Structure 1
Amino acid sequence: MARCFSFTAYRDWFYRYSFAKAGLRALSSNLGDGTIMHCWVPRIRKPSKPNLLLLHGFGANAMWQYGQHLHIFTSRFNVYVPDLLFFGESYTSRPERTDSFQAQCVMRLMEAHGVHRMNLVGISYGGFVGYSMAAQFQEKIERIVLCCAGVCLEEKDMDTGLFVVPNLDEAASILLPQTAEKLRELMRFSFVKPAVGVPSFFLTDFIDVMCTDYVKEKKELIQAILHCRNLSVLPKITQPTLIIWGEKDQIFPLELGHRLHRHVGETSRLVIIKNAGHAVNLEKAKEFAKHLKSFLIDSASSPSPGSLTDAISDKNKGRTFH
């Protein structure tokens, strides 16, 4: 008997409803070169508000990763939540797969919506894209939050055993799960306390709805992240930067958070969230949201990086900072 109800499809509908209720609408933009990008944009853009761009990582689509946090920002910012290329309803016929190309497409999308300056939050792969945007378009990115984004990884890290997987093929099989067991493995790597006892038909339903499109292209995105990556040629960004990391991240180990903090330097701040894994935005949603609010809203008027650091520190006594 054909399955007549999809929990994943219902959840996706619920997120669409909540995004619309928050004052956003879904639009697809043709960038003119075989590239279509889908984005949630303000139904009414207010010039008096700053702009906030939210970039997702690998997983379902943009709505699933920011659905819990949207309400914090829509009253304070003009919020934009795009699907990156080969996620959701965004795609391209062009051959480029680098985070640099993704960054250029996102900036073209934002300019098409009349946005020329913005704050940015990037989760995991979205952090790679966000970092590249901050490096390429320094005058257009004001503040940036990078969450569990292994921007400072190097190609040699795979050989030296930094990661729990031995090679890129194994990494892709987990990040792009096509079986219930691989999805369970992804959950074990992503959460300190993953859900247990989830029936296989729920996992298979999620895969059918969210994980079967653009599998080849997403594998190429993963390969492009690591190809010839070397910290010595990674440009430095100069914007005030908040780095958030799960203490027990198994996808991008905490060492990469420390590397990123050292690389960016004095304009950055590293927040380590205890008892959290890679999916810290979901596993510790309230704590994650608190740090975003402190950095993007409460400290927005700080006149210098030093004042920014002090403001974050004062608001988070007892947290682990480095």
Structure 2
Amino acid sequence: MMNVVKAEKSLLHFFVKRAGLRQHTIEIEPGTIIRFWIPKEKVPKQKGTVNEAVFKGKSDVKAIGKEKSGENSKKKPAVVLVHGFAADGIVTWQFQIGILARHYEVYVPDLLFFGGSTSTSTDRSPALQARCFLTALERGEARRGAQSRRGGSAIDLTDSITDDMLQRLGFASLAEMLLPESVKGLKALFSVGAYKKLPFPDWFYNDYLKVMFSNRKERAELLEGLVIRNKDAKVPALTQVLGC
């Protein structure tokens, strides 16, 4: 029997391409790749290996802009859409990409161990995700603009905050909540993340579980890396550089 969710993803790829995006793979370091949906103007014309199929440098991007518009100043601002644990990027933002692509350069990454992104590294810290994410964005020159995230994207949580939250929601662990193994568990996750009950039949939830929850071991390790002990918790001093 056909998996409806898998078929829907193929259809989504068609509509996202119609909106002007293309899927691309970026090698961050040996053994670590990030898969992105990026504006088609940023895709290299030549075909080749993963190393060749990366974002263009600044000079190439500016040259393309001048060729197509005559003015680099007409370039759209960038918007980066970051997904959470319930789905990959294209499924999470399927209803927003088309509208946003009319006015922005839209970038939709799959974080490590989601969609087509993977790594042979044993590091499961948020720092690795952030480093890979930043490197990919820098190669795409998507440094100015907005970022949106959905569904519990990577942040650090103290154990006390995590325990209190899980107790209120009725889950024993983050893995039980964010990595469901049954239709009942998936319905419970959606009940937390959606403002109203989703009227899907059980077979749809089964199809969703088969397609969206691969790499369970690695994702469970990612969740463990998000929680820090209270005594080790520190408020970081963050700096931000604003471009004009």
1:109 has 2:136 as partner: yes
Amino acid at match of 2:226: I
Distance in 2 between residues matched to 1:228 and 1:239, nearest whole Å: 30
Equivalent in the alignment of 1:195: 198
How does the TM-score come out when normalised to structure 1? 0.59
Equivalent in the alignment of 1:291: none
1:224 has 2:221 as partner: no
State the Cα distance separating 1:154 from its structure 2 match: 2.3
Distance in 1 between residues matched to 2:129 and 2:188, nearest whole Å: 28
Distance in 1 between residues matched to 2:129 and 2:234, nearest whole Å: 22
Equivalent in the alignment of 1:207: 209
CA RMSD of aligned residues (A): 2.5
State the Cα distance separating 1:118 from its structure 2 match: 4.1
Cα 1:228/1:124, change in 2 over 3 Å: farther
Whether the 8 Å contact between 2:156 and 2:226 is mirrored in structure 1 is: no
**How do 1:135-284 residues align onto structure 2 when only pairs under 5 Å count?**
151=155, 153-159=157-163, 161-163=164-166, 164=168, 170-196=173-199, 198-211=200-213, 213-228=214-229, 232-236=234-238
Equivalent in the alignment of 1:35: 32
Whether the 8 Å contact between 2:82 and 2:149 is mirrored in structure 1 is: yes
Equivalent in the alignment of 2:103: 76
Secondary structure of 2:108 counterpart: strand
Secondary structure of 1:96 counterpart: coil
Amino acid at match of 1:193: K
1:38-59 residue CA offsets vs partner (Å, 9 max, x unmatched): 0001011455222221111111
Cα 1:27/1:158, change in 2 over 3 Å: closer
Equivalent in the alignment of 2:18: 21
1:51 has 2:84 as partner: no
State the Cα distance separating 1:236 from its structure 2 match: 4.2
Unmatched runs of 5 consecutive residues or more in structure 2: 43-64, 66-71
State the Cα distance separating 1:33 from its structure 2 match: 2.5
Distance in 1 between residues matched to 2:100 and 2:25, nearest whole Å: 22
Identical residues among aligned pairs (%):
25
1:156-183 residue CA offsets vs partner (Å, 9 max, x unmatched): 2234x2333577x632122111211111
State the Cα distance separating 1:109 from its structure 2 match: 1.2
Distance in 2 between residues matched to 1:202 and 1:120, nearest whole Å: 31
Cα 1:166/1:95, change in 2 over 3 Å: farther
1:85 has 2:85 as partner: no
Equivalent in the alignment of 1:123: 150
**How do 1:285-300 residues align onto structure 2 when only pairs under 5 Å count?**
none
